[in-house]
Amino acid sequence: MDTHTHVVIMAGGVGSRFWPMSTPEHPKQFMDVLGCGKSLIQLTVDRFLGICPAEHIWIVTSEKYQDIVREQLPAIPTEQILLEPVARNTAPCIAYACWKIKKRHPDVRVVVTPADAMVVDVACFRQVIRQALDFIENRDAIVTIGIHPCRPDTGYGYISAETTGEQVENEVLKVKEFKEKPDLETARHYLAAGNYYWNAGIFVWNAATIEKALRQYVPQIAAVFDQLDAAFYTKEEPEAVSQLFPTCERISIDYAVMEKADNVYVVPADFGWSDLGSWGALHALLPKDEKENVLIGKTHQLHECQRNIVHVSGLKKVVLQGLDGYIVAEKDNVLLVCKLSEEQRIKDFAQD
């Protein structure tokens, strides 16, 4: 077991595209999305227990989710559940965890990951993470995990790797640039080019490396956590965080650091990954019946139905006839029936 590595799991999102299963009060990272008996955040922790012990895992989440986190992850030390009083995107989230880690563990390696992704091949995932950890061991380098694209997906950001430069070792590639979510034509170009990868939002670095990068590129955020440093691990920490954390600039780690730094590398990987950002992504990954239906729940009957995804809570039985390409989802007395092709409208439906 690696005692030189800490893992930061970001778990503050609201998962609005998975409504009605995911709600602001109980978002998707805390749900058993896959129907396997464990929530996405529990599955994420399980993957990393093959990398480092539970006492080296940190959760950054919203204050309003602290009870859910403690209930679902009793092995994580309470002082390593970091509570954001407000959402400020991923750069302040990562800075909070890394500043607190380096106060007691200045020389460790850190992996940062979202809480709500799906990984099919856990053994391959751990191998890729260890490869990235080995690479940054004696380097001032930032490594991100890039997923080999299997389709021209417009829902992911992309990472382009240098094609005529440095392949450092073991297929670790120098990053050329980060790309925003493309239109379909551009996504097809990326797929054909062969040097573009989906951005999984998983990062690996030494604590000193990310501290230096944050100080250089977002000094305002670094200054906030310098002010907070004296309060870490004391009873004054919650009040100090509630006062100072909201003053952080709201910015993602991609904009804050990744797109500016010149020491960023990518490890291409293929371990069956999805960010599960939508019902369509879930439908694409889960096992299907002979008519390409995905059924999550106890007992369903489908007649003349194809290419649907059905997700209901409890022991409810669903009987459907004649549907093609629909989402049927139910939770807490809310029933959604929506075309998969129109799933981008679900955020709007949830607000009606």
The pLDDT tens digits of the residues spanning 173-186 come to 999 999 888 999 99
The share of the chain scoring above pLDDT 90, in percent, equals: 71
- What is d(CA 13, CA 29) in angstroms, rounded to the nearest whole number? 8
* pLDDT at residue 164 is higher than 70: no
Give residue 154's pLDDT.
Answer: 83
pLDDT in tens, 234-286: 999 999 999 999 999 999 999 999 999 999 999 999 998 888 878 888 888 88
pLDDT confidence of 153, banded at 50, 70, 90? confident
Tell me the angle at which helices 90-104 and 219-228 cross, rounded to the nearest 10 degrees: 40
Give residue 242's pLDDT.
Answer: 97
CB-based contacts of 112: which residues, under 8 Å, 6+ apart? 7, 8, 10, 94, 97, 202, 203, 204, 253
Give residue 190's pLDDT.
Answer: 93
pLDDT confidence of 350, banded at 50, 70, 90? confident
Statement: the pTM of the whole predicted model exceeds 0.85: yes
Give residue 34's pLDDT.
Answer: 82
- When pLDDT is averaged across residues 298-318 and rounded to a whole number, the result is 85
What are the b/e assignments for 88-101, b being 16+ CB within 10 Å?
Answer: bbbbbbbbbbbbbb
Give residue 168's pLDDT.
Answer: 53
For the chain, the structural domain boundaries read: 5-274, 279-351
Give residue 274's pLDDT.
Answer: 86
* pLDDT at residue 88 is higher than 90: yes
- When pLDDT is averaged across residues 46-75 and rounded to a whole number, the result is 95
- When pLDDT is averaged across residues 149-175 and rounded to a whole number, the result is 80
Give residue 169's pLDDT.
Answer: 58
Q: Is the dihedral of CA 165, 181, 129, 83 positive or negative?
A: positive
Give residue 3's pLDDT.
Answer: 73
- What is d(CA 104, CA 300) in angstroms, rounded to the nearest whole number? 52
Domain 5-274 fold is: Spore Coat Polysaccharide Biosynthesis Protein SpsA; Chain A (3.90.550)
> Beta strands 334-339 and 317-321: pairing type?
unpaired
User: How many other β-carbons are positioned within 10 Å of the β-carbon of residue 332?
Assistant: 10
- What is d(CA 350, CA 352) in angstroms, rounded to the nearest whole number? 6
Backbone Cα Rg of the chain: 21
Query: Which of 247, 217, 222 has the alpha carbon at shortest distance from 102?
Result: 222
pLDDT in tens, 218-232: 999 999 999 999 999
Place of tokens 């993602």: 252
- What is d(CA 206, CA 102) in angstroms, rounded to the nearest whole number? 10
